[in-house]
Amino acid sequence: MKILSVNAGSSSLKFTMFELPAGNVLISGNFEKIGIGNSFYSIKLDGEKIVKEKDLKDHSIAVSTLIEELIDNKIVNSLDDIDGIGHRVVHGGPNFKESVLINNAFLEEFKNCIEYAPLHNPAHLMGINAFMEALPNTPQVVVFDTAFHQSMDEEMYLYPLPYEWNEKYHIRRYGAHGTSHRFINKTISEKLDRNDLKVISCHIGNGSSLCAINAGKVVHTSMGFTPLAGTMMGTRSGDVDASIIPFIVQKENKTCEDVLNDLNKKSGLLGVSGVSSDFREVQNGINEGNHRCKLAFKMLCQSIANYIAMYNNMLDGSDVIVFTAGIGENSVTMRRQVIENIKSLGVTIDEEANGKRGEFVLISGKDSKIPVYVLPTNEELMIATDTYNIIK
């Protein structure tokens, strides 16, 4: 089956087409600056990347261009050759616990989820509508970033806030990166040939979250009601005392939204280093002796280590720790420092193995009490696989 995995943002549309069940990529690409001028798209095919300028007025034009490219490049002969489409959706609210087939009932219910991710969910809907118009007879599936975390127990997802807030407004921990954590759990379980693993999955990228998983069930995850919570990130603060918000509102004569924006977009690595939200830039700053870059690095590693230690406790001991995503897959220094910061758990490093990047590798020492792996994530494949399983 030829399955298209789609991630639509407000001005972008990323896609990967897979052949399933084999899982090989047929073509991938990205439409950028949709509806905001100077739009263009890139296509990756047979290891080559081509970039083309194109006036992409809206998502429908991006979708029709994508279909033309699929046909021109002989990936499909006609629209009928596209067997299914899987859409990534950031937030499924309290009701969506797994991936679902799109139909009218879904579209009606999804309206109730918009408020949980007011920036992302409307953009996903634009993408879904554009594909529904272009391919009305092709089955389409939604894969939620929050769904995996719906398996958390009540005492883990509730906040110690007035109970009615959850009853009235569904204020609770939803988490994010669920598709990535589910991929990591599934893949490491297959590789180690176990289905009862206690996994600490560390998705460390521009946005970062950790997830404690016991035999496929989420015990806890670090992001919360929104992706602002948890570890320190590229531009997001992670967990902070909420009292800081009204304090800064008053001191700087800002609105609550302004300060929330500061916590989401001007904090984390960027806020502390003052240099960049990009880990590589912060690393360059450290190499040049920049104190604030060094501080940002130390704070990032400590906040990741703290979650690992907490999750090891929540799991009553873990079987495996896995690093993934941009920083997790690539940063030798971050992994070294985090492992140093959790040495009280008996974790040790294999320096040579840790020198590898972007591949599946065991990086802990032979004497480590918990094995630590690097495993590249593949959310697109997970989305395509769910779509395949649902429409099959």
- The whole-angstrom separation of Cα 303 and Cα 329 is 18
Helix/strand number for the chain, H first, E second? 15, 14
The answer to whether the beta carbons of residues 201 and 185 sit under 8 Å apart is yes
Active-site residue 83, yes or no? no
Nearer to ligand AMP by Cβ, of 93 and 234: the residue is: 234
Question: Smallest distance from the beta carbon of 190 to ligand AMP, in angstroms?
Answer: 22
DSSP string, 301-331: HHHHHHHHHHHHHHTTS-SEEEEEHHHHHH-
Can residue 230 be called a binding residue for ligand AMP (CB under 6 A)?
no
C-alpha to C-alpha distances, 228 to 223, 232, 261, 283, 306, nearest whole angstrom: 7, 9, 10, 23, 17
Q: Would you give the DSSP letter of residue 345?
A: G
81: Cα within 13 Å, side-chain hemisphere: 12
Which span (38-46, 56-64, 258-266, 319-327) binds ligand AMP, by CB under 6 A? 319-327
Question: Smallest distance from the beta carbon of 107 to ligand AMP, in angstroms?
Answer: 30
Nearer to ligand AMP by Cβ, of 15 and 279: the residue is: 279
Closest by Cα among 48, 52, 17, 47 to 32: 52
Contacts (Cβ under 8 Å, ≥6 apart) of 29 = 14, 15, 41, 42, 43, 44, 66, 69
Closest by Cα among 310, 304, 308, 263 to 156: 310
Question: Smallest distance from the beta carbon of 163 to ligand AMP, in angstroms?
Answer: 35
Positions in 167-186 near ligand AMP (CB under 6 A) = none
Question: Smallest distance from the beta carbon of 52 to ligand AMP, in angstroms?
Answer: 23
Binding residues with ligand AMP: total (CB under 6 A)? 11
Which span (43-51, 187-195, 303-311, 320-328) binds ligand AMP, by CB under 6 A? 320-328
Nearer to ligand AMP by Cβ, of 19 and 278: the residue is: 278
Which span (164-172, 253-261, 325-333, 380-388) binds ligand AMP, by CB under 6 A? 325-333
Q: Where are the beta strands (DSSP E) in the chain?
A: 2-8, 13-19, 24-32, 40-45, 48-53, 84-89, 100-101, 140-144, 198-204, 208-214, 217-221, 320-324, 361-362, 372-374
Can residue 234 be called a binding residue for ligand AMP (CB under 6 A)?
yes
Nearer to ligand AMP by Cβ, of 184 and 315: the residue is: 184
Question: Smallest distance from the beta carbon of 23 to ligand AMP, in angstroms?
Answer: 20
C-alpha to C-alpha distances, 13 to 16, 27, 124, 365, 370, nearest whole angstrom: 10, 14, 9, 41, 39
- The whole-angstrom separation of Cα 202 and Cα 235 is 18
Among 326, 349, 371, 372, binds ligand AMP (CB under 6 A): 326
- The whole-angstrom separation of Cα 71 and Cα 392 is 23
Question: Smallest distance from the beta carbon of 221 to ligand AMP, in angstroms?
Answer: 17
Positions in 266-295 near ligand AMP (CB under 6 A) = 278-280
Can residue 374 be called a binding residue for ligand AMP (CB under 6 A)?
no
Q: Would you give the DSSP letter of residue 147?
A: G
Residue nearest to ligand AMP (CB): 326
Nearer to ligand AMP by Cβ, of 60 and 206: the residue is: 206
Q: Which of 145, 262, 350, 386 is catalytic?
A: 145
Question: Smallest distance from the beta carbon of 275 to ligand AMP, in angstroms?
Answer: 12
Can residue 206 be called a binding residue for ligand AMP (CB under 6 A)?
yes
Nearer to ligand AMP by Cβ, of 147 and 325: the residue is: 325
Question: Smallest distance from the beta carbon of 346 to ligand AMP, in angstroms?
Answer: 27
The answer to whether the beta carbons of residues 224 and 240 sit under 8 Å apart is no
Can residue 331 be called a binding residue for ligand AMP (CB under 6 A)?
yes
Can residue 330 be called a binding residue for ligand AMP (CB under 6 A)?
yes
Among 8, 229, 304, 325, binds ligand AMP (CB under 6 A): 325
Can residue 297 be called a binding residue for ligand AMP (CB under 6 A)?
no
Contacts (Cβ under 8 Å, ≥6 apart) of 272 = 232, 292, 295, 296, 299
Which residues are marked as active site?
A: 145
Contact positions vs ligand AMP (CB under 6 A): 205-206, 234, 278-280, 325-327, 330-331
